[in-house]
Each structure stands twice: as C-alpha cells, then as structure tokens.
Amino acid sequence: MEVQIAVAKTNKYAVTESGDTLEVVERPNGGVSVVLADGQTSGRGAKAVSMLVVRRVIALLADGVRDGAAARAASDTLYTEKQGKVISTLNIISVDLQSGTVVVTRNNPAPFFMAHNEKVDCISTPSSEIGISRNIRPVISEIPLEPGLTLVVFTDGLVHAGDRVGRPMDICTSIKAVLEDQDPSPRQVADSLLAEAVRLDDNRPSDDISVVVLKVLSRTGDDVRRMNVRLPITPRS
Amino acid sequence: MEVQIAVAKTNKYAVTESGDTLEVVERPNGGVSVVLADGQTSGRGAKAVSMLVVRRVIALLADGVRDGAAARAASDTLYTEKQGKVISTLNIISVDLQSGTVVVTRNNPAPFFMAHNEKVDCISTPSSEIGISRNIRPVISEIPLEPGLTLVVFTDGLVHAGDRVGRPMDICTSIKAVLEDQDPSPRQVADSLLAEAVRLDDNRPSDDISVVVLKVLSRTGDDVRRMNVRLPITPRS
C-alpha cells in the first residue's frame, strides 16, 4: 500500500497572507498527520490565530498525544488566550500506522468527503469551531486504511465559493465528476476542486481556500518517501 | 519567482525505521524551512534522537527564533539530555521571505552543493555535528533568492553510498550530470541522486539516505501553494 496526499492552497483575492495554516508532520509512532486551521476573518490576524492552533496541535502530536486530545487542548488554549472572542476551525487528518486507520478529527462546520473508489459520502455531522467555549469536542471518524479510499477535506473558502455571485459550488457533484476520470491522482483532484472554486469566484477568491486530498493506493513503486513543495513568491508591496 | 522543493528519503536496507527525520514547516514571517537531522546509528534509537532534534528546532522556528540560534539550542538540548554521548547532524534550509535569501544552517560534516544554472559549487567548510560538546556552532550560508539557484543537501548515507563495495559515489559529478539535462525539476534531481546511491549499494542501502533539492525558478504558474506527499507503507513484521 501507499498513501498519497496533495494539498492546494490559495489566498483571498488581494490579501498576501493566508488566514489558513497547514502543516504535514510525521507521527512519532509511524505515519503522518495533516493539520489544517482557518482563523476567523482574514489576513495577519487570522494567520496568527491559525498558526497558534496548528503549532499547539503539532507539538502535542509530536509528544504522542492522541488527535482528539490535541484538538481539545488547542481549543482550550485558544479560548484561554482570546477569552472566547476568536474562533478557528481545525481538521486533523492522520495516517496512523499503529491502528492501520485514517483518523479524521474535525472541529469545522464544513463537511468532508470520503470516497471508496467512485462511491462518495459526505460526512456532515454537526461540528463546532474551537475556541468558542469550554468543553468543545471534535467529531472523530476512523476509517480503515485500504486501497481505493479517497478523503477530501477543506476550509470554508471552498464551501462558499461562488456565493457572492449567486452560483454556489456543489462540492459533492464536483468530487464525483473528477473521481469518474481514469484513476485521478490526489494532485488532480485537489487542483480541479480549487480551480473550480476560483473560477466560480471570477478568479478573485472571496476567502482563503485550502484543499487536502488523501488517497490510499495499492503499492505501485519503490520504498522511497517523497515530498514536493511549490511556493509561489509574490513581491511584497 | 517560485521555489520548488523536493525531498526523497529511503531507509537502510532491512530496517523499517529511518534514523533520519525531516519536516517542512512554514516560517512565521513568511517562507518555509526544511529541517533535517540524522541521529547516530540507525533504527529506533537514532529515530528518537533525530525526532528530538527536529522537534526542538521547529518549535523554536515557529516562535520566530533565528535558524542559527535554533541550531545552537538543539545542540545544547541534545548535549544536556544525552551527556554528550549521542550526536546528530542537523541541516536547516530556509526560504526567508523577509531577507529575500535562502539560509543554509549546517551542523554536518557532509558538504552541500549550490548551483547557479549549471555551475556547481561544493560547500564543504568544516562543520561539527550537534550534541558532541558545549558551544557547538553551525556554519551558515546566506544565498540571494534568485532564479537559477539550485541547492542540494543530504545526509551522510549519500556520501557513503557504494563505500562498502569499493565504488564510492562522486556526488558533484552526479549533480553536474543531472543539471546538464534540460532544466530538470527538483524532483528529477532528488530521485536521480537517490537512485544512483541505492544502485551503488546494490539496492541494499547501507544507511538511511535523505536528499533535499531546492530550486528557485522564474514564476511559471498560478498563485497556488502546493504540497504532495507519498508515503509507502511497509507491512510491519
């Protein structure tokens, strides 16, 4: 087996700093975790919030803390620092080699999608942002790690794409359409969803948008772990 | 402009846990840092050491600490925890958007390579591992961020590839050969170096090998940040 993860991330139009923060870190007992937070509002303030949340979570995961406990701790930290006045969404997607599962920990009203081959399910159990009150709990989904599984997780910039101009995005239909292609790579799925969202916003995204696509495949290649990063650099004004 | 980073990583033959740890993290003031450590020996013990070092460094970088200070702190932490009995190499490669430079912070006897287009330089200033004594300092190279720059950084598994069978790898010649190709991507450079090392070791790497290739290009595409991860899963025995 192998797991492939693709991330695509763009900023709100005319804002140089994304309010979304995303990090991929190795788990101390095997596997990787993707940690994604979207801080309230946009620009520098939101960035500070989402970085605070993601840093807290990755420090705890590195210590071997379970994902759900890390999400609760991040919520309490944010609540304590901002007295409940600033909220953030949080998603943790973990490939946990100890349990042989993918664990999705979600504090985000936005749903996520899970596909087994071309059958797509929307997981939309109500879930609260973190930092809004005490005793915030995440919604946790544990999914067996097996070939054919695709997960699509995103921030609300994708959910609200096109709202401004009255043609909202139907994410489920879009995912089904791209999965019908000939065995698309996670890269193709992520890029296709992000491109559609940006197009619906007339190429001026009305919010930061981050999309994470995780796919489990039968082993096709060598034993090499690989990571590629592309960082476009916008000259600062 | 855009920066592309490729990482390729393989384990010592018949050892399921790599002693190398590598993480890519966002810098709080813009840009990204690649942090790579290689703990002494191999397997679980080495992994614990390299994770300790990398976690310490990424926590400090996230707080806005400069790379050189983070490397010194990681050395002192390791020295204190292990009483100078366990050492580790450490490389930090940072795309620093504040200074408009790439900063390479090196505590590693292994050199690194820097190419401007096809002109390749080997930077081999003597540099000590961390954790070996007090007052360890890194060697720091600051390089303007401009199109045409390629950096190649690696752990000593690459340096010693082929030693066992008496045909050592000439890394500089290999890099020159791959850069002579038609504008190779960082992915192609990293994969080509790793494949050659594994071949020289008769497909049984005698050490963990990690290769990081960073390339600065003129801007070719959209404003989307992207990351791809491939994680091969070996059934545990």
Measured distance CA(B224)–CA(A192) in Å, rounded: 12
Residue A180 pLDDT exceeds 70: yes
Distance between B23 CA and the closest CA of chain A, angstroms: 6
Measured distance CA(A228)–CA(B14) in Å, rounded: 26
Record: contact B26-A28, CB cut-off 8 A: no
Residue B31 pLDDT exceeds 70: yes
Percentage of chain B modeled with pLDDT above 90: 79
B7: nearest CB among A7, A95, A227: A227
The DSSP code for B53 is H
pLDDT of residue B237: 46
Q: What is the CA radius of gyration of chain B?
A: 17
CB-based contacts of B234, cutoff 8 Å, min separation 6: A223, B16
Residue A185: pLDDT band (50, 70, 90) is very high
Residue B164: pLDDT band (50, 70, 90) is confident
**For B12, which residue in chain A has the nearest alpha carbon?**
A223
What are B101's strand-pairing partners?
B96, B144
Measured distance CA(A174)–CA(A106) in Å, rounded: 22
Residue A236: pLDDT band (50, 70, 90) is low
Query: How is residue B107 written in tokens?
Result: 């505590």
Residues of chain A with Cβ-Cβ distance to B11 below 8 Å are 223
Record: contact B231-A224, CB cut-off 8 A: no
Residue B236 pLDDT exceeds 90: no
Record: contact A231-B2, CB cut-off 8 A: yes
Q: Alpha carbon of B69 to those of B65, B144, B186: distances in Å? A: 7, 21, 28
Please compute the mean of the pLDDT values over residues B126-141 and round it to a whole number: 95
* Among A72, A57, A71, residue whose Cα is nearest residue A27: A57
Distance between B113 CA and the closest CA of chain A, angstroms: 19
Residue A237: pLDDT band (50, 70, 90) is very low
pLDDT in tens, A133-174: 999 999 999 999 999 999 999 999 999 998 888 889 999 999
What are B31's strand-pairing partners?
B96
Residues of chain A with Cβ-Cβ distance to B145 below 8 Å are 233
State the CB neighbour count (10 A cutoff) for residue B19.
28
Residues of chain B with Cβ-Cβ distance to A229 below 8 Å are 3-6, 24, 32, 225-227
Query: How is residue B164 written in tokens?
Result: 């066992």
The DSSP code for A130 is B
Record: contact B236-A97, CB cut-off 8 A: yes
Query: Residues for chain A: how many in total?
Result: 237
Task: Using alpha carbons only, give the angle A210, B217, B34 rounded to the nearest 5 degrees.
Answer: 60
Record: contact A3-B233, CB cut-off 8 A: yes
Mutate to test the interface with B, among A213, A233, A234, A237 (most CBs of B within 10 A): A233
What three-state secondary structure class fits B165? helix
Measured distance CA(B126)–CA(B143) in Å, rounded: 18
pLDDT of residue A224: 93
Consecutive H or E run containing A194: helix A186-200
**For B9, which residue in chain A has the nearest alpha carbon?**
A225
The pTM for the full model equals 0.93
CB A34 within 8 A of CB A215: no
Distance between B233 CA and the closest CA of chain A, angstroms: 5
Q: Strand B112-116 vs strand B149-154: parallel, antiparallel, or unpaired?
A: antiparallel
Which string of DSSP letters, residue by residue, matches A92-127? EEEEETTTTEEEEEEE-SS-EEEEETTEEEEE----
Number of Cβ pairs < 8 A linking chain A and chain B: 167
pLDDT of residue B43: 72
A97: nearest CB among B51, B97, B233: B233
CB B136 within 8 A of CB B75: yes
pLDDT of residue A11: 87
- At residue A226, what is the residue type? R
Residue A209 pLDDT exceeds 60: yes
Record: contact A10-B194, CB cut-off 8 A: no
Mutate to test the interface with A, among B226, B234, B236, B237 (most CBs of A within 10 A): B226
Record: contact A7-B233, CB cut-off 8 A: no
What are A212's strand-pairing partners?
A7, A153
To the nearest 10°, report the CA torsion of B49, B52, B58, B59: -170
Residue B28's Cβ-count burial label (10 Å; 0-12, 13-18, 19+) is middle
pLDDT of residue B37: 96
- At residue A197, what is the residue type? A
Residue B16 pLDDT exceeds 80: no
Percentage of chain B modeled with pLDDT above 70: 98
Q: For residue B159, which phi and psi values (nearest 5 degrees)?
A: -60, -40
Measured distance CA(B42)–CA(B57) in Å, rounded: 21
What are A24's strand-pairing partners?
A34
CB A12 within 8 A of CB A206: yes
pLDDT of residue A44: 80
pLDDT in tens, B39-48: 987 778 888 9
Residue B215 pLDDT exceeds 60: yes
pLDDT of residue B165: 85
Please compute the mean of the pLDDT values over residues B99-119 and round it to a whole number: 95
Measured distance CA(A98)–CA(B237) in Å, rounded: 12
Measured distance CA(A229)–CA(B85) in Å, rounded: 35
* Among B37, B17, B138, B150, residue whose Cα is nearest residue B86: B37
Query: How is residue B178 written in tokens?
Result: 């791959």
Record: contact B230-A2, CB cut-off 8 A: yes
Record: contact B224-A2, CB cut-off 8 A: no
Residue B65 pLDDT exceeds 50: yes
Please compute the mean of the pLDDT values over residues A41-69 and round it to a whole number: 91
Which string of DSSP letters, residue by residue, matches A1-45? -EEEEEEEEEPPTT-SS-SEEEEEEE-TTSEEEEEEEEESSSSHH
Average pLDDT, chain A: 92
DSSP H stretches of helix in chain B: 44-62, 67-82, 156-159, 171-179, 186-200
Bigger pLDDT: B220 vs B129 = B129
A224: nearest CB among B4, B58, B194: B194
Residues of chain B with Cβ-Cβ distance to A227 below 8 Å are 5-7, 22, 24, 227-230
Distance between B81 CA and the closest CA of chain A, angstroms: 16
Distance between B48 CA and the closest CA of chain A, angstroms: 8
Distance between B132 CA and the closest CA of chain A, angstroms: 24
pLDDT in tens, A75-126: 999 999 999 999 999 999 999 999 999 999 999 999 999 999 889 999 999 9
CB B97 within 8 A of CB B31: yes
